[in-house]
Structure 1
Amino acid sequence: MPLKDRLNLSAEPVFLVDGSAFVYRGFYAFRDMSTREGFPTNALFVVLRMIMKILREEKPRAIGFFLDGKGPTFRNEIYSEYKAQRQATPEDLLVQIEPIKEALRLFGLPVIVSEGGEADDCIASLAERLRPSHPVIIVGADKDLKQCLAERVWLWDPAGKQDKLTGLAEFTGETGLAPSSWPDFQALTGDSSDNIPGVPGIGPKSAAEIMARFPTLEAIWQGLDELPEKYRKKLDGRLEDALRWRELTRLRTTFCHTTDLAALTPAAPDIAGLKEFMARYEFGSLARELSTLPAPQKAASVAASSAKAGGMSLLDYVNGPKAEPKSSAERVATPGELPELSGMHVGLAPLPDGMALGLDGRELLYTGDEAALAKALAAPQAGPASLAAPSFKDILARPRAAGAWRALPFAKVRDLGLMAYLLNPEEREYGLTHLLAAYEADPDMPSLPDDAPGLAARSLGELLAKRLKAAGMERLYAELELPLLPVLRDMEEAGVAIDLGAFESFLDEVTDKLAELTEAIREAAGLSPGEEFNVRSSHQLADLLFNRLSLKPRGKTPGGLPSTSQAVLEKMAGEHPVIDLVLTYRGYEKMRSTYLEPLPRLVGPDGRIHTTFNNLSTATGRLSSSNPNLQNIPIRGEMGGRMRACFTAGPGRLLASADYSQIELRLLAHLCGDPELTKAFAAGEDIHARTAAILHGKEPGEVTPDERRAAKTINFGLLYGMGPQRLSRELKITLTLAKEFIARYFERMPAVKAFFEGVERDARRDGYVTTMFGRRRLLPGLFSRNDNEQAQAVRQAINTRVQGSAADIIKLAMLRAHEDERLRALGARLILQVHDELVIEAPKDAAREAGERLAGIMTSAVDISVPLAVDWGVGPTWAEAH
């Protein structure tokens, strides 16, 4: 029954959705939900399922989805430690925010992002303004929202285990308080999730007893002498603190003043767009439910808010109507004339999503003729050129003009996407339209005249350059990241050869193994010969494991059914032979479906695979690759070797692979200065054997292989924040012993512990962490209300400091290898970068010298207090070279 009927409302209610709360709830409710390609979809799924429930059952005439804005709020000015313990938003959650917004737009729902306050302040403000004329349903579960309850205002949680509806009467009956006293109650008890201390020793029970007599903080302190002594002692002298805590918990009602009822009127949903969206994110069940959505309401809506005063916005420059050119000499190309350069902005001309190019102060108007463009750029009379573009790497992909673009001095190139990425590597979206929207409100962004729309890209470039300089990343951009782009383009163009025959042979073996494992699973499960069973079917597998074999489920799907995800089955390993067989099956199935079948289809006419190297995709600065992802090619084990053996050198050539050895541990030794680590690396000792000797009180030569393997887990695990619980699971030892190992490790190497603590301390002070080369990573999760998120942010800080520095070093090595005259003379070219490994291809007679030269370049890339070591080899295949 709709809430309008349940509450017997005479008017249509307004729905105010606490979007941020449901996004976080969805993310932490179903951690293992993703597309086949690994894109996380847990928060997205939960939010859409809830929204569709509201649309289907409530048919709202007015609704808003509210999200917290970025940056500090007025509460941080009141108390600098407000939410100071929170962790950075997980990357898997961050990447879902834009898809959530996209889906809401397709549903026709207004999305309101708070500025200066929190989403709850917007909700409280609108509830207060609208309730005299309209019933208000606040969709949320945050306890802070209880203070909004009033006549004609309800709090509804449709996404909990039970549909919970709370009104004024329910709240008063449950707490004995008026909603206006709820902030006073929270000020006494505190709120660990927001880092609000409260009054020490006063918990919910004590606060309820006190406020039963005195309903406000002022009344409590006025009647302090009338309270029992046990409360007087705790409250005495705490009034000022309590009043401050109340200011933090009290929601403001002066926000979102420009949001009116018209702004909350939903538009008709884009069903075709939603179907495509659901297919993209593999939401088959939600796609089927689209047909159950009600037809759009035909209620009258108020006109939208008036346009921004003062002329065109920056986005108007890119997306707005364009004036007709006055003559053919001034004609500007339209997007339709640039089928391969869509997304570019050439000249001081209003083409969508592109670049501004200046030649000695004159405009260059691009009309689609790349040859003419290249000639103009190369002409002596052209004078010094400058370029501002969303992606210089994309421009370098243009074959006819690439040479001319490369001739531009790097000092004259402003890659807007790259600059924005360095300033905020968690953002994930660096297109021109997005950047102009993001920086439009920046006080240093110049106001542009209406008749010069093409200045937008150039002005944005100037602003980003200023921001980079202020952040200390000017050299990182100019001397490392920007010069790396031609290197990446050359590697993409070169590609890597593959042996189609080896792929076919390996695929045949894997297919046979999958058939063999299928029969083994059927036999272990006791299935009859004619009984149908598909190992790939999660539904059939769940029925087999949890119904027929009566195994205990270890997790649930978003729909509440027993899960058969990889993480769940790994927890169940050893419980039944079928579990281990299925895990083995999935390993072979991944090889088949991810590598052996798709990769041969991606081979170009030259017999090579050309991946795309992504330089804007990771928060630590590491490169990734896509279409296909060659960074995920297995390395170790039998299947890893067989897979790499399918990648070969071209005719008459060999591959040389050079891989940094334990670079992150060596950087840790350099950064922390621990004498034990530094001495071990300087002497060329086995660092894992030395750690094992420390942990077990032995000499390194007395360490057993198992002890060394355990020490290796500890060395790398502690580097990335592994705690005693996980260490005990990894090593299959008791929790007590795991704690003893960690304590002994830090006792013998105190500089390591001091380094970890220093990184965390500096990150909490600055809000970010930097690599050795000045690369920044913002860590808002350090101030999360969620303890798990906060702990994750600490791990990210240490990881970024070390792994980010390693990423910078290998990029520097790539630059030097690409520019090395000797490698060029040997005919060697860089073709792959995978984590800490570089692969070059060279003529057979020069390959060994080229490999040795590459290893030398890598070991001398930077001067640190411990030697960098590189393992390298040469061979006709990647497996043999590695």
Structure 2
Amino acid sequence: MSLKNRLDLAAEPVFLMDGSAFIYRGFFANRNMQRSDGFPTNALVVVTRVLMRILREERPQYFLFVKDGRGKNFRHDIFPLYKANRDATPDDLIRQMEPIERMVTALGMNLEISDGCEADDCIASLAARLSKERPVIIVSGDKDLKQCLGPNVFMWDPAFKEEKLLSAAQFTEESGLTPAQWPDVQALVGDTSDNIPGVPGIGPKTAAKIFEICPSLEDIRDHFVLLPPKLQDKLRSHLDEMFTWRKLTTLSLDVCTGLELGDLLVRPIDAESCVALAEEFELHALRREMASLERMQLSGQPADAKEAPKTHAQNGSRRAEASVPLNEGNEGSESARGVSTASAQQGASAQPPRGAGAQMSLLDVAEEKVAPQVGTAADLSDCRGLDVALVWPRGTGAAPHAAVADGEDICWTGGVDDLCRWAADARCIVTPDIKSLLSVAPCWRELLQKKSPDFFMDLGLAAYLINPEESDYGWPRLAVHWGGPLRADGPGPAQLALRMAAVLESRMQQDGLLELYKKLELPLTPVLSDMEGRGIAIDAGAFETFLTDVQSQLDRLTAEVYAVAGKEFNIRSAQQLGDVLFSTLELPSPRKTKGGQASTSQETLEKLAGRHPVVDSILQFRKLEKMRSTYLDPLPRLMDKQGRVHTTFNQKATATGRLSSSNPNLQNIPVRGELGKRMRSCFIAGPDLALVSADYSQVELRVLAHMSQDEALLEAFRKGEDIHARTAALVYDLPSEEVSADQRRNAKTINFGLIYGMGAQKLAQELKITTNEAKEFIARYFSRLTGLKEFYESVEATAKRQGFVTTLGGRRRLLPDIHSANGQAYALARRQAINTVIQGSAADVIKLAMLAVAGDAQLRDSKARLLLQVHDELLLEVPQAAAQRAGERVAELMGAVMPGNEPLSVPLVVDWGVGDNWGSAH
């Protein structure tokens, strides 16, 4: 029975859903729910289920999903520490926000994102206004919203084990309070989740006793003597503060004024978007329910609910567009629509136009076309000379789909070796991720070795090169971003992949990326896979001893800090540490966080270094604690049975082309200082083996010299001079031998800083000078190094003219904000342009070096194996007898690399060493 009938409501109710509360509840309810490639889906699934239950059981005519916006709101102005104790929003939750918003609108429901206020304020304002003309049901279990209850306002929580339905009368009966008293109660009790202190010693029961005598804060203040002495003692010193706390607990009633009842009308389900979302995030169990909902809507949806909603952007909130095509605004998808290949054109031309009366129906597509199951090689189509696609739409643990060109999908249920032998006869194997394919079974690696990397087509890698700004190149996302125009006749996943391959290859050809793909990135994939499989050995005993020593130092530092503070506290807590530093010890607080509390960031503490001994102790504590928590404690637990740790190299993670490392990240292992040296010494060679470390010397500056053709830089590198001393000599008008250590350090800062787009303000911070002095320093720098100035200007001009920049190896990065009228966005785009040209070209260099080392016959014969790539360094494991010879060969190969098939104008110098551990080899 619907709520309308259960509550005996005379009119259709308005449903106002506290979306943020359900998003957080769904996220923390099941942290393990994820897509087959690891993308988290827990919040998305839970919110979707709640929304579909509401649509199915309530058939709402009016519905609004309200979600918190970003940034501060008016409560931070009242109390800067409001919610300051909350942890940062988990990345896995942030990643789901956009899909959730898409799902809300795809289901025909309205979305409001509150800015300058909270979702609760928007709900309270709408409830107060709309309840004058019809019933309002607040979909939430949040205690803060209880103050909204009234004669025509109810609260309903459908996601509890047992649903909760609350009216104003029930609230009063249960609590002895009226909804209007609730903000006063919360002001006294406080709220730890929102960092509202409240009055110490007063909990809900004590507050109830107080309000039996004095029913409001004003009564407490004006009739204080009526309260028992014990309660007076608790309240006496907080009579002013409690009114401040009430301002925080009282919901605003004057926001979201731009929303009218008609804007909350529920629309028909957008079937196309629902299908795309279900495929992208593998919501297979929900797809039939969506079709059922659409069928129900078509049979009983009120006519006026089909009006297109308006959009709003006023008074504290913004209204999300009601129905945005999933691919609109996405660079990759727009590009796919523009490629002229036969398969793409055929798919696009067969797709009906979307518009009034042409919406696709879930009833037609809710049931996926079931691919026939095939389990024996004899039943597979002949694929000799044809392209074959292999897709694992349910993840690599499930059955793959296979298809040959112009054929239909089959679902392979047989052995992986049989499938591999069949596919070996193909012209090319198309798959979303070669590195994942190689992990499925050894036979794929053997097949790649017999053929060559270009026997495979990696869809994700191609999409990455075309647009490296995306964060997800897994099959579900590829199918949505690139598959839209190719779905006209309902191809299966594998057949869709074949069509997608044609589009992506054509687009790479068009953008000049095909050589980069075929000669560098594609051959690198199996090299990375081999490196991941090998791992690197670690010395468990050395880790344990190191951990014991670090823990001992942490205990000593903790005791020192407690002694100075005069009390024990959580040194890891920013708030508690700030209280000690800036309240107890009265150190100057340079700045405050967005939450309003004093900053205890690394930058802040470094500025305070030397002002008090405790600051130096805390800085040392943080350095050691990071070492303990990031490396010493977790890494030994990640060892396999052979005592080796295996990382994952991410080939599609950065816009500049640099590789990254994760699970664990071995590219951030400390290198400098005593701790860094000892940390690296814990990584060891296997029995009878040695480690060879080969590291490019200042490769980014050498790339800069080559690309800028600045005479001073070219001469310095060709003569083997100290580049930073040479730069300092030019900037300060001194002979090189008279350059001081500080002057060299300043030159080094600007040399490297300009590569990363450092401006005057950042340089001033680094050199501890004024911004004007930093501007003068930069001006002097460019006046002496005129080639650099011309180069940076040419990069900016090229970016403006083309809309992108290109590296030496042909890698490109799109820069949509290079023409932005927003100064901040433009400045960022300019920094990205320079950074990409230099860092991206350096990435091309190190990747070419990896290919040269991995493919060298001499190193292969000596059984040298590439283990790690860390920034500009390669680490190999080699039999001890061959280590010296291997080091010489690696340095020779790395020095001969030619990005863009041309040698650099300056030599590529490689520093190398051999040792039984990483520390001694580096």
Residues 755 and 163 from structure 1, CA distance in 2 versus in 1: closer, same or farther, beyond 3 angstroms? farther
User: 1:553-579, CA deviations, whole angstroms, 9 ceiling, x for partnerless residues?
Assistant: 455556544443444434544443323
Equivalent in 667, 670, 689 of residue 631 of structure 1: 667
Do residues 607 (structure 1) and 652 (structure 2) align?
no
Instruction: Report how far residue 401 of structure 1 moved.
Output: 3.5
Residues 440 and 492 of structure 1: CA distance in aligned 2, closer, same or farther (over 3 Å): closer
Cα offsets for 1:649-669 (capped at 9, x unmatched): 111111111111111111111
Correspondence for 1:396:
438
Q: Distance in 1 between matches of 2:781 and 2:914?
A: 38
Contact 1:354 1:389 (8 Å CA) reproduced: no
Q: Which residue in the other structure is 2:532 paired with?
A: 492
Alpha-carbon shift at residue 728 of structure 1 (Å): 2.0
TM superposition shift of 1:542: 3.0
Rounded to whole Å, the distance in 1 between the matches of 2:362 and 2:894 is 44
The one of 398, 413, 416 aligned to 2:456: 413
1:63 alignment counterpart: 64
Q: Work out the CA distance in 1 between the residues paired with 2:818 and 2:66.
A: 26
SS at match of 1:476: helix
Alpha carbons 2:64, 2:110 under 8 Å: kept:
no
2:475 and 2:691 map into 1 onto residues whose CA distance is 39
Distance in 1 between residues matched to 2:826 and 2:94, nearest whole Å: 19
Residue in structure 2 matching 1:470, options 510, 520, 524: 510
**Superposition deviation, residue 595 in structure 1:** 0.1
CA distance in 1, matches of 2:502, 2:427: 15
Match among 458, 462, 471 for residue 428 of structure 1: 471
2:501 aligns with 461
2:841 to 786, 791, 805: 805
TM-score by length of 2: 0.62
C-alpha displacement of 1:467: 0.9
Please list every run of 5 or more consecutive structure 2 residues that lacks an aligned counterpart in the other structure.
1-10, 21-39, 55-59, 69-88, 112-129, 137-246, 272-299, 307-322, 326-350, 353-357, 381-388
Per the alignment, residue 31 of structure 1 pairs with none
Distance, in Å, in 2 between the alignment partners of 1:360 and 1:681 is 57
Matching of residues 64-463 of structure 1 within 5 Å: 98-104=95-101, 165=254, 261-262=267-268, 320-322=368-370, 344=392, 356=402, 358=404, 366-377=412-423, 382=425, 384-397=426-439, 398-442=441-485, 445=486, 447-448=488-489, 454-463=494-503
Secondary structure at 1:635 match in 2: coil
Q: Contact 1:62–1:261 (CA<8 Å) still a contact in 2?
A: no
How far apart are 1:693 and its partner, in Å? 0.3
Identify the residue that residue 28 of structure 2 maps to in structure 1: none
Mapped partners of 1:731, 1:653: distance in 2: 44
CA-based RMSD: 5.0
Q: Which residue pairs with 1:141 in the alignment?
A: none
Query: CA distance change for structure 1 residues 453 and 671 in 2, over 3 Å: closer, same or farther?
Result: closer
Equivalent residue for 1:842? 878
Question: Separation in 2 of the partners of 1:741 and 1:801?
Answer: 24
- Give the aligned residue type for 1:394: S
Counterpart mapping for 1:674-823 below 5 A: 674-784=710-820, 786-823=822-859
Shift of 1:725: 2.0
The answer to whether the 8 Å contact 1:65/1:110 transfers is: no
- Structure 1 residue 845, shift from structure 2 partner: 1.1
CA distance in 1, matches of 2:855, 2:907: 23
- On the 8 A contact 1:343/1:352 being kept in 2, the answer is no
1:63: how far off? Answer: 2.9
Query: Secondary structure of the equivalent of 1:781?
Result: helix
What is the CA distance between 1:412 and its match in structure 2?
A: 3.5
AA in 1 matched with 2:368: G
> How far has the Cα of 1:416 moved from its partner?
0.9
Looking at structure 2, the residues matched to 818 and 789 of structure 1 have their Cα atoms a distance apart, in angstroms, of: 41
**CA distance 1:65–1:813, change in 2 (3 Å):** farther
SS at match of 1:838: strand
Match of 2:679 in 1: 643
Per-residue Cα deviation, 1:457-496 (whole angstroms, up to 9, x for no partner): 1111111111111111001111110010110111111111
Amino acid at match of 1:689: A
**Aligned equivalent of 2:545, options 494, 505, 530:** 505
Classify 1:776/1:162 alpha carbon distance in 2 versus 1 (closer, same or farther; 3 Å).
farther
1:852 corresponds in structure 2 to: 888
- Describe the SS at the equivalent of 1:62: strand
Structure 1 residues 425, 319: CA separation in 2 closer, same or farther (over 3 Å shift)?
farther
Contact 1:417/1:432 (<8 A) preserved:
yes
The answer to whether 1:663 aligns with 2:699 is yes
Query: How far 1:330 sits from its partner (Å)?
Result: 9.2
Relative distance call for 1:302 and 1:94 in structure 2 (3 A) is farther
Match of 1:621 among 650, 653, 657: 657
**CA distance in 2: counterparts of 1:101 and 1:413, whole angstroms:** 33
Alpha-carbon distance in 1 for matches of 2:678, 2:367: 51
Q: Is the 8 A contact 1:317 1:453 kept in 2?
A: no
Secondary structure of the equivalent of 1:483?
Answer: helix
Shift of the alpha carbon at 1:419? 0.7
- In the TM superposition, residue 707 of structure 1 has moved relative to its aligned partner by 1.4
Aligned residue identity for 1:875: G
Specify the SS of the correspondent of 1:833.
Answer: strand
CA pair 494-323 structure 1, distance change in 2 beyond 3 A: closer
Give me the TM-score of the superposition, normalised by structure 1: 0.64
Aligned partner of residue 632 in structure 1, secondary structure: coil
Q: Deviations over 1:370-397 (max 9, x none)?
A: 232344345xxx3x44211110111112
| Whole-angstrom CA distance in 2 between matches of 1:879 and 1:63 | 59
Asked if structure 1 preserves the Cα contact closer than 8 Å seen for 2:694 and 2:874, the reply is yes
TM-superposed CA distance for 1:344, in Å, is 1.4
Q: Using the alignment, how far apart are the partners of 1:519 and 1:795 within structure 2?
A: 45
Provide the secondary structure at the position in 2 that maps to 1:63.
Answer: strand
* In 1, Cα distance between equivalents of 2:749 and 2:253: 47
- 2:918 equivalent in structure 1: 878
Give the drift of 1:449: 5.5
**How many pairs does the alignment contain?**
646
The aligned amino acid for 2:63 is: A
8 Å Cα contact 1:317/1:454 also seen in 2: no
Letter of the aligned partner of 1:569 in structure 2?
A: L
Separation in 1 of the partners of 2:558 and 2:396?
A: 60
| 1:604 positional shift | 0.6
Shift of 1:847: 0.3
Secondary structure in 2 matching 1:782: helix
Q: CA deviation at 1:414?
A: 1.3
By relative contact order (CA 8 Å, sep 6+), the higher-ranking structure is: 1
Paired with 1:754 and 1:18, the residues of 2 have a C-alpha distance of 52
Give identity over the alignment, percent.
45
Residue identity matched to 1:322? V
Identify the residue that residue 595 of structure 1 maps to in structure 2: 631
Partner of 2:816, secondary structure, is coil
Q: Is contact 2:809–2:844 with CA below 8 Å preserved after alignment?
A: yes
The 3-state SS of whatever aligns with 2:773 is: helix
Judge conservation of contact 1:688–1:712 (CA < 8 Å) in 2. yes
Kindly tell me: are residues 164 and 872 of structure 1, through their superposed partners in 2, closer, same or farther at Cα, counting changes over 3 Å? farther
Change (3 A) 1:504 1:358: same
